[in-house]
Structure 1
Amino acid sequence: MTGVLRPADDTDRDLILSWRNHPSVRAVSLTTHEIRPEEHAAWWATRKALVLIYEEDGVPSGVVIFNGNTWSFYLDVEGLGPRLLAAWMRLEKEAVEYAFGPLGLTTLGGETLEENRQVLALHRRFGFRETRRYERIVDGVTKTVVWTERAK
């Protein structure tokens, strides 16, 4: 299996929304409500971040969002099924290479909920280090957010 990143275009907009609204993606996000199509369309129309589609063997399977030297991502949980963990690893590899290659970043960081241990372990595997923790209210509940960062 191979994974590649490509720029997102308007045909990807609704696909990205379906991945983001999957219950398991929302459960580990900093905003967990189901995003309505109008809200997503407004974000899409005014996005200032670089949005890339991760393709697994030519099939759109996830999204990577770069906003300055900060990044986030999520995958097509249902479409990937048992291939999800392997796809996570390939996506992270591609995203880090893209950040330090074509984007020319010297550092890359992001937020992960403390309870999302799988993603934190994945980040450590790719050289990210925890630099701080802080509290954030998520759906009325105080949660710990872990900021991880990697230098080129």
Structure 2
Amino acid sequence: MTPVLRPATPSDRDTVLSWRNHPDVRAVSLTTHVISAEEHATWWENATNDPRRHILIFDDCGVVIFDLREDPPSWSFYLDVEGLGGGLLKAWLRLEQAAVDHAFGPLGLTRLGGEQLAANKQVIALHRRFGFRETRRYERLIDGVPQTVVWTERGTEQ
């Protein structure tokens, strides 16, 4: 089955919030508080009205967000942890391939980066599998506690 990335629509807004607020997603995010409906609505409005930001729905079980306002552009993603159950790893692999193909295909990017907590070794390993490499580490306060963040990056040469 070919993975599908489609532009998010207004009807996806609340579903994306429920995925983002899942405790397992929040635990590995750079913002760990429960996001209110109002906070999410403001973010959604700003993001969906900015042509340099792309919110894409993956197979109706995840979201990929590309931010082209930065150099290099960055990306993030999360999945419907609860809905996928035992199929989470398979979905992760398919989502990452679809995201990389989209970034270096339709979006026309030559570089793509992203940040993740150093403790999130599974995602770092997943990114490595798809040609991303660690380019730097830095400290960032997460809930008032210093945490190490890893920036991974990939170019079209991979």
TM-score normalized by the length of structure 1: 0.96
Unaligned runs of 5+ in 2: none
Instruction: Measure the CA separation in 1 of the matches of 2:26 and 2:63.
Output: 14
Corresponding residue number in structure 2 for 1:36: 36
Q: Within 5 Å, which residues of 2 pair with 1:1-152? A: 1-47=1-47, 48=50, 49-55=53-59, 60-68=60-68, 69-152=73-156
Unaligned runs of 5+ in 1: none
Q: One-letter code of the match for 1:46?
A: N
Q: One-letter code of the match for 1:4?
A: V
Instruction: Measure the CA separation in 2 of the matches of 1:45 and 1:109.
Output: 24
- More strand per residue: 1
Instruction: Measure the CA separation in 2 of the matches of 1:2 and 1:82.
Output: 20
Instruction: Measure the CA separation in 2 of the matches of 1:6 and 1:77.
Output: 19
39-48 vs 89-98, which moves further = 39-48
Shift of 1:44: 0.9
Shift of 1:46: 1.2
Aligned alpha-carbon RMSD (Å): 0.7
Shift of 1:74: 0.1
Instruction: Measure the CA separation in 2 of the matches of 1:46 and 1:125.
Output: 32
Instruction: Measure the CA separation in 2 of the matches of 1:72 and 1:113.
Output: 12
Shift of 1:4: 1.0
Instruction: Measure the CA separation in 2 of the matches of 1:87 and 1:130.
Output: 23
SS of the aligned residue for 2:61 comes to strand
- Runs of 4+ aligned structure 1 residues displaced above 4 Å come to none
Shift of 1:2: 3.8
